Structure 1
């Protein structure tokens, strides 16, 4: 049985492990291997501790917890980044990762449904997120969850390779 709750500081190591392993599994063949190989749980956890304890942080973190296993998924959401040209009332899912051995078991869906529920309760009327072009599994997942590409793109550079992200949106 898996349930979703707010992330707390004790979850940081598990969330970093989920995020790093998630990147390495989901982005193999898309993001340069040198970048993926350089990722470590320890470095991610150190950055996450700083970020998690930042005063005035407006993002929210959720974890999916499996009985007897601890956190097996993580989602972070909140308002669009400062300066983003989003309509009033829009929120953004910044990240969603599931332990690679549990992808396709409903953990990600439960996290996303809970995030949508909380976003509506916080007054958001729409949700946006960014998906790496070519990440077909993620694109199918978000499309099944009611998201549609809105035509916006942004580029990120990983080890001198430019990759494009596509923005997806859905009403809440």
Structure 2
């Protein structure tokens, strides 16, 4: 059974480990995740500890299975992590639908997110749910000591006149 709820302030360690496992999988195409693991673990823990109020958790049969955040409580999904061991149960779709409801409920017409361009699994996931790539950027990443291309995706949350989602 799927249950979606707000994060609690005592869940930083649990949620950061979910984020680390999902991040490691997402970093496969870039490589060097092992070299950055300690820094990533610390970054996830610090983020969840300090920003838990912006985090939405999805549970599967009573176990935290993933989480997402809107760090600035605007239309941008800053984090979206499903524990790899829970993929394939519709959790990502349910979590994304909840975030889209929240974003629309706060008066935003569009939901947006970004990821590195090699994260084809995430890009495909979002595209299958109506997101389109709107920009490509290449920025130097000092931890990797190289340029890393990123893509920005967005989706209109405004209903078209025919009752479907899309551009108006």
Aligning the two structures, in what range does the TM-score lie when normalised by the shorter sequence?
0.7 to 0.9
CA contact (8 A) 1:73 1:97 kept: yes
CA deviation after TM superposition for structure 1 residue 63, in Å: 0.2
Distance 1:137 1:93 in 2: 17
RMSD between aligned alpha carbons? 2.3
CA contact (8 A) 1:34 1:159 kept: no
Which residue of 1 is the match for residue 117 of structure 2?
133
CA contact (8 A) 2:29 2:119 kept: no
1:54-81 CA-to-partner distances (Å, cap 9, x unmatched) read: xxxxx72100012242x1110001558x
Structure number with the bigger relative contact order (C-alpha 8 A, sep ≥ 6) is 1
Residues 131-140 or 145-154, more deviating? 145-154
User: Cα 1:156–1:76, aligned 2, differ >3 Å: closer, same or farther?
Assistant: farther
* Mapping 1:138-157, distance limit 5 Å: 138-157=122-141
1:87-120 CA-to-partner distances (Å, cap 9, x unmatched) read: xxx7111110011111232111111000001111
Which residue of 1 is the match for residue 104 of structure 2?
120
Structure 1 segments unaligned to the other structure (5+ residues): 54-58, 81-89
What SS does the corresponding residue of 1:29 show, helix, strand or coil? coil
What SS does the corresponding residue of 2:80 show, helix, strand or coil? strand
Pick the aligned partner of 2:70 from 77, 81, 90: 77
Confirm or deny that 1:65 pairs with 2:49. no
Distance 1:155 1:104 in 2: 32
CA contact (8 A) 1:74 1:96 kept: yes
Equivalenced residue count is 156
CA contact (8 A) 1:156 1:165 kept: no
Which residue of 1 is the match for residue 45 of structure 2?
45
Which residue of 2 is the match for residue 165 of structure 1?
150
